[in-house]
Amino acid sequence: MLVSTNFSGSEGNTSQRSNLNTAYHLNVEIDRGSGFCFGVVYAIEMAEEYLKENGKLYCLGDIVHNDVEVDRLKKMGLEIISHEDLKDLRNAQVLIRAHGEPPSTYQIAMDNDIELIDASCPVVLKLQNRIRNSHDSDEQILIYGKKDHAEVIALRAQTGNKAIVFMDVAELDIEALPQNVTLYSQTTKSKAKFYHITQQLKAAGLEVKAHDTICRQVSNREEELRAFANEHDKVVFVAGKKSSNGRMLYGICKEVNVNTYFVSLPKEVDSAWFKHGDKVGICGATSTPQWLMEDIKMMLEAL
């Protein structure tokens, strides 16, 4: 029997029919709301347009947290570089992905005669400005988010790296915080948890100025996916293992439907998950390409 994929990073094997004479006749549906958010679409379209005209383009970090989509763009001429690589570049063209960048990146580009093709998501740029304004007003800023996430690194940099980043209230030293704090969120986090954290901070005696800065294209997906997962016998959730948004949305589907399986590639789908006539839903993160979900749908329909 084949091994299923989970978030620990275990790899599934190529799916084959347990019985070649068995037809599963699965009823397969792709969630209409899944796939790239507008910020990712914007960044990828900019990259594709530039690559078609010039054949080569540097990108600062993975353009999207999905390895198969990154590989597709690499074949077109996209080259992924790190921030250390950026320091050594001269007279080059570099794409800034949707996550945004700290001020230091723009300074390096100016110093090294680098042309930046800025595909920062407008939602992220607006959040950067709001955090910078709060910092200029001497507010103590808390950011609910993942410390090593590219977006959060850029957000914290707007405060001279003085903002406190956390994923859970238990990580905070409440006694060391001032009475008044300003709370922001990484754009792809859970809206429900953001409001829960706000109440926890208030219950601890703090005055909290809470700014719900979660992207609505992401937050609205929570209830939509709950309904979608509930309507199907089995759910195949498709996302890159590095996707923070994917991790969160997969968890939501799994809460509603225990028969939810996480995959990054078609070969990780295990036919043993299904039985004859199952109604199967395919959904994904805001970093999941539509073509990948379509490939998995065709594979399942061929079982």
Please list the active-site residues.
Answer: 151
Q: How far apart are CA 301 and CA 26, in angstroms?
A: 6
Tell me which residue of 92, 72, 283 sits closest to 81, measured CA to CA.
92
CB 124 within 8 A of CB 39: yes
Q: Would you state the structure tokens that stand for residue 302, as one six-digit string?
A: 């061929």
CB 129 within 8 A of CB 120: no
The CA angle 40-283-274, to the nearest 5 degrees, is: 150
Q: How far apart are CA 240 and CA 261, in angstroms?
A: 13
For the four alpha carbons of 195, 163, 219 and 269, in that order, the dihedral sign comes to negative
Q: How far apart are CA 140 and CA 163, in angstroms?
A: 7
Tell me which residue of 182, 179, 177 sits closest to 139, measured CA to CA.
182
- The residues facing 99 across adjacent strands are none
**b vs e for 109-143, b when ≥16 Cβ sit within 10 Å of the residue's Cβ?**
beeeebebbbbbbebbeebbebbbebbeeebbbbb
Q: Amino acid letter at 158?
A: Q
Tell me which residue of 15, 19, 21, 20 sits closest to 3, measured CA to CA.
15
